[in-house]
Every structure is written in structure tokens, then in C-alpha cells.
Structure 1
Amino acid sequence: MTAVTETPTEAAAHEGDVVLRAVDITKTYGVTRALKGVNFDVRRGKVTVLFGENGAGKSTLMKILSGVEQPTGGVLELDGEPVTLASTTDAVDRGIAIIHQELNLCPNLNVRDNIFIGRELRTARGIDYGREAEITRGLMARLEEEISPDTLVADLRLGQQQIVEIARALAADARILIMDEPTSALSSAEVEVLFKVIDDLTASGVAIVYISHHLEEAIEVADHAVVFRDGDLVADRDAEGLTLPWVVSAMVGREADYDFRDASRDYGDVALRIEDVRVVDQEGGGRLAVDGVSLDVREGEIVALYGLMGAGRTELMEALSGREPFATGRALLGDTDLAPYSIQQRIELGIGLVPEDRQRDGLVQLMTVGQNLSLASLLGSVRRGLVSRKHERGGIEDQIRDVRVKTAGPEALITSLSGGNQQKVVIGKMLLTDPRVLLLDEPTRGIDVGAKGEIFSLLFREAARGLAVLYVTSEIGEALSAAHRVVVMSKGRVVREFDPRTCTREEVMAAAGETGADVHHTKEQHRE
């Protein structure tokens, strides 16, 4: 069944009506109570934002509302009537679609097939690929992306894959659309386009449930907000009274408390020296993704690399780690030129990368927490040609404790952890290699404010022991509060450097080619 889109007049007449209600919903996994009797309303033509730390229960509730999982107790009501959502297909048939936090695409299929997988358009002669391609082109135009329906998803960058995930949900023509971290890999311009789409959807009566760890961004789009903590819905507020301090305090039970601008600046020698490096964009027609970058990072120093999508930050990090070659220039780890060394050899020398996409590039989903932690350092546990399980296990247990991974133990599947704890495992995996320089590409993507604080506390602790850290971020607040130095890239070049103790947000954003004036609008401005 395809959901029927209302006219603006019809939508206005019913705006604010409850279309989906969760009543006393509970969910248990063994002895863990993920949801503890939650009551939650989804309203027609409104954006309801869910805030909460990883593991608070937000995504669990969304999985229940979209038919991914069944509640242990409680009732769902759709249009005032009790309903059982037996599967995601059942939910879609009833007009409920979800954009998942972790991308749920088939990389070996093209964009068109990913958008219509499981609900292909059929004629008497078979699948109507032409019509599917036409709709796909329309969706890409609506999202202002030049992506061909025939492009393999594996060939798209992460942000473009996120666009495809959004397009797939839009193609379902749902009347209730759940967005779980829809902007985690999007650029500022792409976020702006998505917000316009959300405004169009709500104006036509679609109910939006929106989850994001980008707190300021979510506040802008919200009509109503609820806060989850430890499986309970602990607070709610309409948009008029919604402020960042209120959200953070309700989420974590205290004010936001990570700001490392006054951290020790007792630096050592230059650990990483980047000299006039150029990197070719292999998918960009031979253009330079990195164009003459020079940069030093010292022992004990944390440098934030800020910039917009397409600035060349990820390409630089991947080239430093050995995933992409330098076209010109060189990088020195101490006195060692990295050019002749492979990824594994660079790890052994003391440089490691925490990649942007932890699911695809940082973790093996079928392995346990312990197995993932020891992957990069396994050779260090070899004794007389065999892996010493005792040595390996000792290192794993020490690292779980050291980076504060919240897990049932080393044997727990990596998929049982929240996003923040999975990221700690990826970081811990690289710390087990005893690096001199740690590279991190968007280390806090898709994780909550509490977990961000824990991760940066970990990085500053390691920096105090002499580790050099270079990390990429798209969040200006993060760059200013969690670095000794902020380096801005734009169009493949380093354009400015700032001391976060003395610079302003506006100065850094302007240097990146972004004034902020066209990025952060209020909800009312979006609708004008």
C-alpha cells in the first residue's frame, strides 16, 4: 500500500493530530532493559526530535516503530487503533519508513536498485527499470545531487551514500518518516537541502521523527523535542523553549563539560612533517584533491583539521596512512620518509588511521569486541611463530579498561555495542599498536555528547604521554573545544591556522569559505 500525500489544505486541517502512539513500550535483551515503559507520540506535519546519549533507547524505539523489532511489552497505536508491525515491509505498507543510522545499502548494486530493492516497480513484462531510473533522477534532483541511477553505490563517497539512503526513504512516499542520524555524513550544503525537503514533507502532512547528535542542527528543525536517558523518556519540550543547555543537561544529567582549550601545551619534537603534498582525486577526473599541503604535528600536540566537504581532508589522511599515493611531496614520521611503506608497515613504524566509516573500514562486523581490538596489533602477540592467546587477551582486557569500552566482555559481538563504544574499539585497536602519530577522520561522527567527551579525554590523556594527534572534523564547536591548534583546509589547500583559545567561530568558518549565514536558519526561515 502506498501512503497518500495530502493537499496543503488537508494537511493544515489535521496538523498536530497524533498518527502513531507508543504506549508503555518496553524492550529487553536478556537482562538488559533497553526501554522501560516509554510513552511517545508522533504528530502529523510536525518534526519530533529525539535526543539522548548512545544506549539511551532512541534507536531501539525507532526500530520498534518501523517494524525492525518487536516490543517486549506495551502497545503501538496507528490512527488510534492497536497495530502490530510484523516487519519493515509491513511498516512501509502502512506508510512508515526509516532512514537508519548505519547505512543499509548494497554496495554491489547501483543507486536505482538500492532505492527500489524489495519494492520494485513491475509491469506484465517484468521490472520497469526505465520508470525506476526516472524516479531516481527526480529524487536526486530534489536532493540537489548529480548522481546517476546507474552508479554503483560502492563508488560513491560516504555523504553521497547517505543521500541515497534518504532518497530510498523518500521513494516510499511515507506519511511517517523516521530519520536516525540522517546528516552524519552530509556537508553543510547537503544538510540545508535536506532541511528544505523536511519542510516540504511536513507542509504536506508527513510526520517526521528526527534523531541527531548534532544538537544545534536538530534544535533548528524541531517542532517538539523529547529526551531519552537509560531507557526512559525523561523530558520533553516544545520548540519555543528549546535551548542547547537544556538538551545537554536533560541528556546527561549535567551541563556539557568537555573543553580542552586550556590543556597542557608541553610539546616535544616534530612527530609528523608533511611537505608540499599533493594527492590526485582518483574519481575526480585527475584533479588534485590535496594541493600542496605542508603541516607539522608535534609530540603531545592535538591538531584539528577543519573544512567543508571536498576540502581534501579525508584524501590527505588516507594518503598519510598509505591508502592513497602521493602525487608529489613527502611525509616524514620523525626522520623516516613514509613513501616506500605499505599500510601495515606504516602501522609498525608508528602511524595509524581511525577511518571515517567505522562500519566499513574500521570494524569486522562478524567478529567480537576482542578480535576487533587485536586486529592491527596481532603480530605483536606472536611467540615462536604462533599467536600467544594469553598475551593477546591481556592486551585486549587492558585496552577495554583503558579506553572505557562499555561491553559485556571481549567475547561480545561488536554489533552489540553502541556507536560511541564501537568508535572506542576502533581507537583502542590503533592505540594497541603503540603509535607515535594517530590520525582520526571524523572520530565523533554519529555519537553523542557524552561519548564525545570521553573520546577527547582519551586523546588528550594520550597526548600528555607524547602521542601526536591529527584529526578531521566538520563540527566547528568540536574543533574549537578539543584541539591545541585548528588548521583550516579549503579546496585542497591549508588556508589558515588558529589558536582555539583566541579565535572565534566566525573567523574559522569564514576561512573555510563558509560564513554560516546560509547554513544555520531557523525553522521559520526555512518555510518562508
Structure 2
Amino acid sequence: MKVNTPIIEMIDISKIFPGVRALSNVSFRLFPGEVHSLMGENGAGKSTLVKVLTGVHNHDGGTIQIEEQPMEVISPLHAQQLGISTVYQEVNLCPNLSVVENIFIGRELMKRGFIDWKKMNKRAEELLAKLNINIDVTKELSTYSVAIQQMVAIARSLNISSKVLILDEPTSSLDVNEVNQLFECINNLKKEGMAILFISHFLDQVYEISDRITVLRNGEFIGEYLTEDLPRLELISKMVGKELKQLENKLNTEEKEEEPSKNDLFLEAVKLTKKGKIQPFDLKLYSGEIYGLAGLLGSGRTEMARLLFGADKVDEGEIKMKGQTIQLNSPKQAIRNGVAFCSENRKAEGIIPELSIRENMILAIQGIKGWFKYIPHKKQVEIADEYIRLLNINPPNPEQLIKNLSGGNQQKVLLARWLITNPNLLILDEPTRGIDVGAKAEIQKLMLELKDEGKSILFISSELEEVVRTCRRIAVLRDRQKISEIKNNEQIDHQYIMQEIAGGN
């Protein structure tokens, strides 16, 4: 294989799931001795492409070449045998076993019918030394930090493979020093000729470590670029599918220029932080305003929202509500203080698919009342009918199973669940993702009506035009930190927000 020849080349790869074309004629190349980043928003096809490469999914079209030879990768085990190893975002190891056991699990070295612990310990230490890690390999994995566990996962991969290493969101739970340690390891592996596929939503990290970038959008190949030749703003534009010259500003400036009164301050976060999730941030939310969070996936938007809802425990900082310091250590406490949270992942953290519309709607209010103060069935039906009419939910049958509804109508049911609790602060994390234009318009209209009623709304959306159109103030996040706050006016448009996300130039 020539030096300038890809070790892996995927040509016109297509993958179809029932009702969904996940990949459409996607191409990808990976060269020895380079770090190649795969970029794209949610649903772009990154995970599907990796799963095709590693034999989790078969492909419906196209070819895969490994070292210039056509190859059908039939399983993850087959991929490992071909020299392709993957380290996933969630470290897939056994914390109750020792470091050496994790590195050699399933491939133990034997001597005269017994495990050769001495040889395995020495080999484990050698593998970790290549990563500049010097630890006691006989100790239980759980005694070490997430960063060390990540390095152990890489060492395990090196023990299997010496050709291709796929790192899927490897820095998602690491702090700055741990990321630097990982990057030093990656650079050492690159110098040894290993090909590394790096998947991350952190722009700064991508530009620091990558030699090449491939961009996917909506399951399609957008382009392959040398990192040094692709400005950040252009990368973002290619990922979100907005040509800058086509961006339009549809502000209602009269609404956005109103200054809130200090007496209207509902919630204030002071130096709030969660290690490995979000760096310290300040935030003020006023009654009767929609406050937007803008940033790419992985920028810290959801992490910020989860702290304000008590879904994640705060490490440092404080939350004040109407001037009084409060503890939000659980969603239950948040709900009792008038905070509601509509998660971005409605399937995993929202709907209960086997329950009806009515049953899904009354979950939160029943939780507040307690299960010993059961809401009578007749009252439940009255509540469901009211919100079915209010939100135009279709079909208008409270006993219909929610799993049979469209995504837009499922989202409306989740909104109804929280509106029934009459919250003072409604946190909406990607409430319009994956729903049709009509449903989006209805949800945006509802947001404006709630604002007029004096509610506070924290609005998270990857669609920047939505954020600019609806929000009076906008916090811009990048790489787990709030980097700026923008007061919306007629000069602020999508291009401005994208420039802030890219670095402010």
C-alpha cells in the first residue's frame, strides 16, 4: 500500500432502514498517520456510517476497501480481525475487574493451561506506557478516573489492532487537562502510523487534533476538506445547511427591545457548574421572556438545562428564585418550584409509548399531587380533552396510544403534560426537532402566548432562525461553556449567531 493511499475507503455507501434512508451515496477516506474528523449534526449519518464500517450494519449500496482490497465487514469481531477498533463515548469496560483483566478480557495469555498473569501484567504496562500512562494494572478499574478508563479502553484496542482506531466522542466526560492527556496520546499514535477516526461535537478540539474533516448532512456526503483549508464558519454552514448569503432576519424588533424590570427577575444562576458537563456560567431569566440557547450539539445547551431542572446535581454555584437561594437537587424539587422540562429525547425521556394520550398527559400533575391523591378518571379525561383542543392534537382521542401518534403530536402531548402543571419556567429542549412545519409554527405560537401570560421560557434549538425569531436574549455556547450573551435586535441574524459560535470573527 502506497503512503498516500487510504487504508480505508468507503465509496457511495447507502443504508436504508424501514421508511428512512440513513445514508445516500456517502464516501469516506482514512489515511495512515492522520486524524480524520467526521462532522455533522444529529441525524447526519455519522453513527450509521461508523456502524457500517465496523460491521454492526450491512450496507445496501456501495463498496468498502481496506488496504485497496474490496471487503465485506460482517461483524464487529470481523472488523477487529481486520485491524479496526472502536472506543465508544460510554466506556465499554467492566469496572469491577482489574485494568489488566479489562485489556485482555476474552484474549487472556495462557501458559501450561493457566492464565499467565506475569506476562499479561507486563504487556498491559507496555501498552499503557505508549499512552504515557503509568498505573498499577492489577487494581480495579473503578478506582481510576474516567480519563484513565478511556485510556485503558484505547490500550485494549491497541492490543487488538494496530491499524485503525475509531474514537466516538472520547472527550465528552473529560476535563481540560484530561483532554490534553488524550490528545498527546492520539498524536503519539498518529506518529506511529495509526489511522484515527475522531468524532466530536467540540469545534475547538476538532481543529486542534484533526488533519482532515468529512462533513455529512441528512445522510448525504457534503465534502472532504483539509482542516487548515476549512474555516470554522464555513464548517458550521456546511453542517447546518445554511448558506450565509441566504440567511434572513425575521425579527419582531418591538417585542425584543423591551427591557425587563428587576422586579421581574424569576431565576438567577450564579457560577453554576458540573464537572465534565458544563463550565461555570451565570444566567438570569425574567418573567415574560423567551431566552434562547444557541450552539452546536455538544456545546453544553442540554447540560445547562438539566442543571436548572435538577436532573443533574450541581457541583458548584447557586440558584436563586425570586431573590431567594434554593436547592434544586432533583426534578421533583424543580417541579415543586414551578420549573418544567421538556427533554430533547422524547422517546427515551418523554413519552411512555404503551400508555394513552390521557395517561401521558397527567403524569407530571399526578406526580406533584402524589399517588395517594389519585386524579379521578373523569377529571383526567376533562384535562386531556381541554389540552387536545388547545394544542390541536390529532387524533383527538385521549385513549389513543401515544406511540401511534406522529412525532409532532407526541411533542404536543409532552408540552401538555407540563402546561397542566402551570409552571413559571418552561425549559424546552429542541421541542420542534423532527416535526413538520405546521406543528413547528403551532409550538412557536404557543411559546409567544405563554410569554405574554408572564411565563419564562428557556428555548433550545439547533435551528438558528427559530432562536432569532422568538428570543429576546440569546446565550451562545461552545465546547461546554457560555461564551457570550446577545441582546436580540434588528442587527442580529443567523449569520451573526453562527459567527459567535465559530469564534466571533
Cα gap change, 1:353/1:135 in structure 2, threshold over 3 Å: closer, same or farther? farther
CA deviations 1:129-174 (Å, max 9, x no partner) are 9936972796399376989851438x966x7765665555455444
Q: Following the alignment from structure 1 to structure 2, what is the Cα–Cα distance between the partners of residues 128 and 186?
A: 31
Asked if 1:103 corresponds to 2:102, the answer is: no
- The secondary structure found in structure 1 opposite 2:4 is coil
Choose the corresponding residue for 1:215, options 203, 208, 230: 203
Cα gap change, 1:346/1:231 in structure 2, threshold over 3 Å: closer, same or farther? closer
Question: Who is 1:152 aligned against?
Answer: 142
Q: Following the alignment from structure 1 to structure 2, what is the Cα–Cα distance between the partners of residues 133 and 386?
A: 70
Kindly state the Cα deviation for residue 66 of structure 1 after the two structures are TM-superposed.
1.2
Structure 2 residue runs of 5 or longer lacking an equivalent are: 296-301, 367-373, 394-400, 434-439, 461-470, 489-502
Question: Who is 1:8 aligned against?
Answer: none
Choose the corresponding residue for 2:256, options 264, 274, 293: 264
Kindly state the Cα deviation for residue 61 of structure 1 after the two structures are TM-superposed.
1.0
Q: Following the alignment from structure 2 to structure 1, what is the Cα–Cα distance between the partners of residues 51 and 34?
A: 20
Q: How is 1:457-476 mapped onto 2 (pairs within 5 angstroms)?
A: 464=451, 466-468=454-456
The answer as to whether partners of 1:50 and 1:211 remain within 8 angstroms in 2 is yes
Kindly state the Cα deviation for residue 38 of structure 1 after the two structures are TM-superposed.
2.4
Asked if 1:63 corresponds to 2:48, the answer is: no
Choose the corresponding residue for 2:310, options 309, 321, 331: 321
Opposite residue 139 of structure 1, the aligned amino acid is L
Cα gap change, 1:485/1:72 in structure 2, threshold over 3 Å: closer, same or farther? closer
Choose the corresponding residue for 1:350, options 338, 352, 364: 338
Cα gap change, 1:112/1:352 in structure 2, threshold over 3 Å: closer, same or farther? farther
The answer as to whether partners of 1:56 and 1:229 remain within 8 angstroms in 2 is yes
The answer as to whether partners of 2:11 and 2:25 remain within 8 angstroms in 1 is yes
Q: How is 1:217-296 mapped onto 2 (pairs within 5 angstroms)?
A: 217-255=205-243, 264=256, 266=258, 267=260, 269-272=264-267
Question: Who is 2:103 aligned against?
Answer: 116
Q: Following the alignment from structure 1 to structure 2, what is the Cα–Cα distance between the partners of residues 169 and 400?
A: 52
Q: How is 1:375-390 mapped onto 2 (pairs within 5 angstroms)?
A: 378-380=363-365, 383-384=375-376, 388=380
Q: Following the alignment from structure 1 to structure 2, what is the Cα–Cα distance between the partners of residues 222 and 347?
A: 43
Q: Following the alignment from structure 1 to structure 2, what is the Cα–Cα distance between the partners of residues 483 and 139?
A: 51
The answer as to whether partners of 2:308 and 2:328 remain within 8 angstroms in 1 is no
Choose the corresponding residue for 1:51, options 28, 39, 42: 39
CA deviations 1:280-307 (Å, max 9, x no partner) are x9x9xxxxxx99x998643337498x9x
Cα gap change, 1:389/1:141 in structure 2, threshold over 3 Å: closer, same or farther? farther
- The secondary structure found in structure 1 opposite 2:140 is coil
Opposite residue 35 of structure 1, the aligned amino acid is L
Choose the corresponding residue for 1:23, options 4, 7, 11: 11
Kindly state the Cα deviation for residue 64 of structure 1 after the two structures are TM-superposed.
0.8
Question: Who is 1:493 aligned against?
Answer: none
Cα gap change, 1:24/1:271 in structure 2, threshold over 3 Å: closer, same or farther? same
Cα gap change, 1:80/1:142 in structure 2, threshold over 3 Å: closer, same or farther? closer
Q: Following the alignment from structure 2 to structure 1, what is the Cα–Cα distance between the partners of residues 136 and 413?
A: 34
The answer as to whether partners of 2:183 and 2:209 remain within 8 angstroms in 1 is yes
Cα gap change, 1:499/1:243 in structure 2, threshold over 3 Å: closer, same or farther? closer
Cα gap change, 1:43/1:341 in structure 2, threshold over 3 Å: closer, same or farther? closer
Cα gap change, 1:136/1:338 in structure 2, threshold over 3 Å: closer, same or farther? farther
Cα gap change, 1:82/1:265 in structure 2, threshold over 3 Å: closer, same or farther? same
Cα gap change, 1:211/1:379 in structure 2, threshold over 3 Å: closer, same or farther? closer
CA deviations 1:82-128 (Å, max 9, x no partner) are 2222211111121101233x525367645738843753423232484
The answer as to whether partners of 1:97 and 1:172 remain within 8 angstroms in 2 is yes
Opposite residue 25 of structure 1, the aligned amino acid is I
Structure 1 residue runs of 5 or longer lacking an equivalent are: 1-12, 284-289, 307-312, 402-408, 448-453, 473-481, 489-495, 503-519, 521-528
Q: How is 1:160-179 mapped onto 2 (pairs within 5 angstroms)?
A: 165-166=153-154, 168-179=156-167
Choose the corresponding residue for 1:139, options 122, 128, 131: 128
The answer as to whether partners of 2:83 and 2:162 remain within 8 angstroms in 1 is yes
Question: Who is 1:88 aligned against?
Answer: 76
Q: CA RMSD in A?
A: 6.1
Opposite residue 384 of structure 1, the aligned amino acid is P
Q: Following the alignment from structure 1 to structure 2, what is the Cα–Cα distance between the partners of residues 468 and 220?
A: 38
Kindly state the Cα deviation for residue 29 of structure 1 after the two structures are TM-superposed.
0.3
Kindly state the Cα deviation for residue 471 of structure 1 after the two structures are TM-superposed.
10
Q: Following the alignment from structure 2 to structure 1, what is the Cα–Cα distance between the partners of residues 484 and 311?
A: 28
Q: Following the alignment from structure 2 to structure 1, what is the Cα–Cα distance between the partners of residues 107 and 148?
A: 22
Choose the corresponding residue for 2:61, options 61, 64, 73: 73
- The secondary structure found in structure 2 opposite 1:18 is coil
The answer as to whether partners of 2:91 and 2:149 remain within 8 angstroms in 1 is no
Q: Following the alignment from structure 1 to structure 2, what is the Cα–Cα distance between the partners of residues 187 and 342?
A: 24
Question: Who is 1:37 aligned against?
Answer: 25
CA deviations 1:422-451 (Å, max 9, x no partner) are 9999999877755424679xx79xx9xxxx
Q: Following the alignment from structure 1 to structure 2, what is the Cα–Cα distance between the partners of residues 167 and 365?
A: 37
Which deviates more from structure 2 when the two are superposed, residues 215-224 or residues 140-149?
140-149
Cα gap change, 1:80/1:499 in structure 2, threshold over 3 Å: closer, same or farther? closer
Cα gap change, 1:81/1:152 in structure 2, threshold over 3 Å: closer, same or farther? same
TM-score, normalised relative to structure 1: 0.59
Q: Following the alignment from structure 2 to structure 1, what is the Cα–Cα distance between the partners of residues 156 and 379?
A: 45
The answer as to whether partners of 1:321 and 1:346 remain within 8 angstroms in 2 is yes
Q: Following the alignment from structure 2 to structure 1, what is the Cα–Cα distance between the partners of residues 360 and 153?
A: 30
CA deviations 1:1-37 (Å, max 9, x no partner) are xxxxxxxxxxxx9533221222332211013111122
Question: Who is 1:193 aligned against?
Answer: 181
Kindly state the Cα deviation for residue 54 of structure 1 after the two structures are TM-superposed.
1.7
- The secondary structure found in structure 1 opposite 2:38 is strand
Opposite residue 125 of structure 1, the aligned amino acid is F
Give the aligned length. 433
The answer as to whether partners of 1:34 and 1:60 remain within 8 angstroms in 2 is yes
Question: Who is 1:492 aligned against?
Answer: none
TM-score, normalised relative to structure 2: 0.62
| Percent of paired sites with the same residue | 23
Question: Who is 1:476 aligned against?
Answer: none
Question: Who is 1:505 aligned against?
Answer: none
Q: How is 1:517-528 mapped onto 2 (pairs within 5 angstroms)?
A: none
